[in-house]
Structure 1
Amino acid sequence: MSFLLLLVALMALLYLGMPMFAALFLLPLGVLYWVEGGVPALGEIVIGKLDGPLLVAIPLFMLMAHVMVRGRVVDDLYGAAFALLRHVRGGVGIATVAACTIFAAISGSSVATALTVGKIAIPQMLRYGMSRRGAFGVVAGGGTLGILIPPSAPMVLYAYVTEASVGALFLAGLVPGLLMAAMFAGYCFITEGRARAPADDPPPERVHLALRRAGWSITLPVFVLGGIYLGVFTATEAAGTGTLYAIVIAALIYRSLTLRDFLEGLGEATRTSAMLLMIIAGAAVYGYMLTKLRVPQELVELVAFWDLSRTEFLVAMMVLLFLLGLVLESFSIILLTMPAILPVMATLGIDKVWYGVLLTLSLEMALISPPVALNLVVIKAITGAPLSEVNRSILPYMLMLAFGTALLIAFPGIALWLPRQAGYAG
């Protein structure tokens, strides 16, 4: 009950217009002054939370994404997918899913995936007979793969908060991410059969040329993830070397990244990272308050009182995460919920890697659910379509994500098999 009251109080502050980092600082400070008369060692709490090398990986992965986006590498990714799949039933939609899947492995951002792929893919899909609703839906749904298919900044933050293995989380997200991509492609195949290029339509370029141009960008996620899994470098080192590799690809091989593009991407990554670090600092004080008020112990006792099974607890948490995702972004949700529920997960024997993938799927559903659906806002900005029309396009993809979440709850091995094979999870 205390946790819900504190959550409602925090939502009220945000509704009144207070920035997230300020609300995370002021609410716990006010509560702790009222309960204990002060907050000793506030500086140690904040610095202790920010003093971790893994946090450096997040801004570096963000910079890597900005370099690839501003270097317009995704043009060739979509071109290769379109050249290969354009004549297949529903091929233009399937090509968009394929481009989103590959770009998700480069950018690690759902919004960036929807924005960048959508600019290129939506006009092509409409040109080749795909319905407006179908075109909007596949970009919004495909964009959600950005935070599930590794590398993923939210997964790095989750690993930092829970002390889970980043490599295990990245591997665990791979099979569910590809499964969701297959569902999206299958839906396009079934419902948008007319959306393909005519047999006599000349290709934009030869398939082998398109694949050769896209080949360098496809090697980026292989380089980053392969280095982590083979033990060549840590996640932080992978982010740094991956960023350098992205600069080489965009600036020297593609010759599409200017100094101005790089500096603008660097500035954007810096601003986003600074905001995130402020939220993490506030979340450290928030977590300290939860511990002092014995909120984690209360949740454990509540679960025991209601005799909740592991599945019942997970379903309840997925609903809560989805509701929080309607008004908060993913980083804030991870930082707000994990300090309270980690002890409950330990009591119920819930694998942290498995839960991390379930959490990510719930956040993906929230990304395309009104009222605060960033992927839908991006599509409205690209197309100028009414938001009501864009909103209607997303229902099938929400249902598929919900089905994928239920499947993962019922069969944890979908996520855990690959990390176990690699020796990460027990």
Structure 2
Amino acid sequence: MTFFLTLAGLLVLLYLGVPMFAAMFLLSLGVLWATEGAVTLLGELVFGKLDSYLLVAVPLFMLMAHFMVRGRVVDDLFGTAHTLLRHVRGGLGIATVAACTVFAAISGSSVATALTIGKVAIPQMLRYGYSRRGAFGVVAGGGTLGILIPPSAPMILYAYVTEASVGALFAAGVMPGLMMAAMFALWCVLTERGSGAPPAAPTLPGVAGEGPGEGPLPCTGRASLAEIVAALKRSIWALTLPPFVLGGIYFGVFTPTEAAGTGALWALILAVVVYRQLDLADLWEGVNEATRTAAMLFMIIVGASLYGYMLTKLGAPQELAAMVASWGLSRTGFLLCMMVLLFLLGLILETFSIILLTTPVILPVLDALAIDKVWYGILLTLNLEMALISPPVALNIVVIKAITGAPLSEVNRAVVPYLLMLALGTLMLLAFPGIALWLPRLLGY
């Protein structure tokens, strides 16, 4: 009961407009002062939580994504996917999902994936006959793959909180990520017209209909062998980054932090030397953006650390474990309850906050019910994906609105099928843990 009372207090502060980190910080200070008359060890607690080598990976992965975007590497990724798939019914939608999948393995960010791919893909889909709802939905839904397909910033944070293996989490995200990508692609095939639809005038303000390169992409007919070879040659350097980063982690060459650093360096070299699109202003903007992201995350960690300390002092984790035991919930029953709670939290909180708010509290329950932390981490990530397209706090929906200027209600309706597919994917993973755990076990984690 203690956890839910403090959660209710936190939600009241958030409703009043208090920033997330400040709400957790102030609530925790108030409760500790009221119950203990003092707040001790605050400095040591904050420093101990932030003094982690693993956390350095988050801004470095963001920096890597920025270099790839500014270097126009993403244009070639989408162009290659389109060339290979343009003759298939719904081919542009499938190409968008494929580009999201590859960029997800570069950026580790869903918002960056939706923003980057959306700028390229939405004008093309609208020009070649896709419905507005179909175009908006596939970018918003496909963008969520950014935190499921490794590398993933939320997975790194979850590993930091639970002391789970980052490599195991990254490996566990691969098969569910590909499963969701396949479901999204199948939806495009079933619901959209073929890529050969006649070009139409752009239907959004300011959309010029230009895709990667110097003009609109050819969207009719099967690509010739020469076109396929040319597209693969253009994107070959971009396609080196995921195996470079992930292969280094899986084969023990890099730690996740070292992989983020070397990946950012490799992305910088590609953008400057191969694509020649990155200048000093872009470099400065990338560093500035990564720094702001890290500062935001670290402030949330500080607030969540104090919140977790307060809950521990009040005995909330033990109380929750005892409550679950008294209810006689099975492992599946507990996980279903957690999925519902995570979905509800996703309606009002962003991903980092949900991880830091819930994970420390339920760790004793995970241990008591012998729930694999890696498996739970992927279930959590799928719920976080739903949070990214669940109004009102739905960052991917906000991104699509910013790109297109479309009414929020229209974008909200567009993401409903993808929200349902993510819910179905979560249930499948709940029923068949091997979808996530097969690859980590194969790799020896």
Answer whether TM exceeds 0.5 for this pair: yes
What does 1:34-183 align with in structure 2 at a 5 Å threshold?
34-183=34-183
Residue 276 (structure 2) aligns with: 255
d(CA) in 2 for partners of 1:63 and 1:4? Answer: 37
Q: Answer yes or no: is 1:229 the counterpart of 2:250.
A: yes
What does 1:291-310 align with in structure 2 at a 5 Å threshold?
291-310=312-331
d(CA) in 2 for partners of 1:368 and 1:199? Answer: 32
How far is the alpha carbon of 1:13 from its aligned partner? 1.0
> Residue 130 of structure 1 contacts residue 192 of structure 1 at CA under 8 Å; is this kept in 2?
yes
d(CA) in 2 for partners of 1:101 and 1:381? Answer: 22
RMSD: 1.3
How far is the alpha carbon of 1:119 from its aligned partner? 0.9
Residue 420 (structure 1) aligns with: 441
d(CA) in 1 for partners of 2:108 and 2:260? Answer: 11
Q: Which of 263, 276, 282 is 2:303 aligned to?
A: 282
Residue 9 (structure 1) aligns with: 9
> Residue 86 of structure 2 contacts residue 222 of structure 2 at CA under 8 Å; is this kept in 1?
no
Moved more, 194-203 or 363-372: 194-203
How far is the alpha carbon of 1:213 from its aligned partner? 1.3
d(CA) in 2 for partners of 1:209 and 1:201? Answer: 14
d(CA) in 2 for partners of 1:250 and 1:126? Answer: 29
> Residue 196 of structure 2 contacts residue 221 of structure 2 at CA under 8 Å; is this kept in 1?
no
Runs of 4+ in 1 over 2 A off after TM superposition: 193-203
* Local SS of the residue matching 1:255: coil
Give the partner amino acid of 1:28.
Answer: S
How far is the alpha carbon of 1:202 from its aligned partner? 8.3
**C-alpha deviations, 1:225-254, integer Å up to 9, x for none?**
100111111111111111101101111111
d(CA) in 2 for partners of 1:396 and 1:196? Answer: 24
Residue 404 (structure 2) aligns with: 383
Residue 361 (structure 1) aligns with: 382
**C-alpha deviations, 1:274-318, integer Å up to 9, x for none?**
111111112111111111100000001100111011111111111
d(CA) in 1 for partners of 2:407 and 2:86? Answer: 28
Residue 20 (structure 2) aligns with: 20
> Residue 83 of structure 2 contacts residue 223 of structure 2 at CA under 8 Å; is this kept in 1?
no
**C-alpha deviations, 1:319-373, integer Å up to 9, x for none?**
1111111111111111111111000010011100000000000010111111121
Give the partner amino acid of 1:171.
Answer: A
How far is the alpha carbon of 1:59 from its aligned partner? 1.1
How far is the alpha carbon of 1:73 from its aligned partner? 1.1
Q: Which of 379, 382, 392 is 1:371 aligned to?
A: 392
Moved more, 122-131 or 170-179: 122-131
How far is the alpha carbon of 1:200 from its aligned partner? 5.4
Moved more, 63-72 or 243-252: 63-72
- Residues 142, 266 of structure 1: CA spacing in aligned structure 2 closer, same or farther, 3 A cutoff? same
- Residues 280, 132 of structure 1: CA spacing in aligned structure 2 closer, same or farther, 3 A cutoff? same
> Residue 310 of structure 1 contacts residue 350 of structure 1 at CA under 8 Å; is this kept in 2?
yes
Q: Answer yes or no: is 1:246 the counterpart of 2:247.
A: no
**C-alpha deviations, 1:71-124, integer Å up to 9, x for none?**
221100000011111111111111111001001111111111111111111111
Residue 336 (structure 2) aligns with: 315
Q: Answer yes or no: is 1:267 the counterpart of 2:292.
A: no
d(CA) in 1 for partners of 2:75 and 2:387? Answer: 28
How far is the alpha carbon of 1:193 from its aligned partner? 3.5
> Residue 71 of structure 1 contacts residue 261 of structure 1 at CA under 8 Å; is this kept in 2?
no
d(CA) in 1 for partners of 2:47 and 2:221? Answer: 64
d(CA) in 1 for partners of 2:154 and 2:369? Answer: 24
Where does the alignment leave 5 or more consecutive residues of structure 2 unmatched? 198-218
* Local SS of the residue matching 2:236: helix
Kindly, what percent of the aligned residue pairs are identical? Answer: 73
d(CA) in 2 for partners of 1:63 and 1:223? Answer: 16
- Residues 356, 201 of structure 1: CA spacing in aligned structure 2 closer, same or farther, 3 A cutoff? closer
Moved more, 292-301 or 382-391: 382-391
* Local SS of the residue matching 2:325: helix
Residue 200 (structure 2) aligns with: none
Give the partner amino acid of 1:185.
Answer: A
Give the partner amino acid of 2:146.
Answer: G
TM-score by length of 2: 0.93
Q: Which of 330, 334, 337 is 2:351 aligned to?
A: 330
How far is the alpha carbon of 1:26 from its aligned partner? 1.2
**C-alpha deviations, 1:370-392, integer Å up to 9, x for none?**
11211111111111211111111
d(CA) in 1 for partners of 2:223 and 2:154? Answer: 42
* Local SS of the residue matching 1:206: helix
Give the partner amino acid of 1:155.
Answer: M
d(CA) in 2 for partners of 1:71 and 1:58? Answer: 20
Residue 426 (structure 2) aligns with: 405
Residue 342 (structure 1) aligns with: 363
**C-alpha deviations, 1:33-61, integer Å up to 9, x for none?**
11111121111111111111111111111
Q: Answer yes or no: is 1:187 the counterpart of 2:208.
A: no
> Residue 92 of structure 1 contacts residue 196 of structure 1 at CA under 8 Å; is this kept in 2?
no
Give the partner amino acid of 2:143.
Answer: G
> Residue 107 of structure 2 contacts residue 113 of structure 2 at CA under 8 Å; is this kept in 1?
yes
How far is the alpha carbon of 1:404 from its aligned partner? 0.3
Moved more, 163-172 or 129-138: 129-138
How far is the alpha carbon of 1:195 from its aligned partner? 3.6
d(CA) in 1 for partners of 2:196 and 2:183? Answer: 18
How far is the alpha carbon of 1:194 from its aligned partner? 2.8
d(CA) in 2 for partners of 1:323 and 1:66? Answer: 31
> Residue 90 of structure 1 contacts residue 196 of structure 1 at CA under 8 Å; is this kept in 2?
no
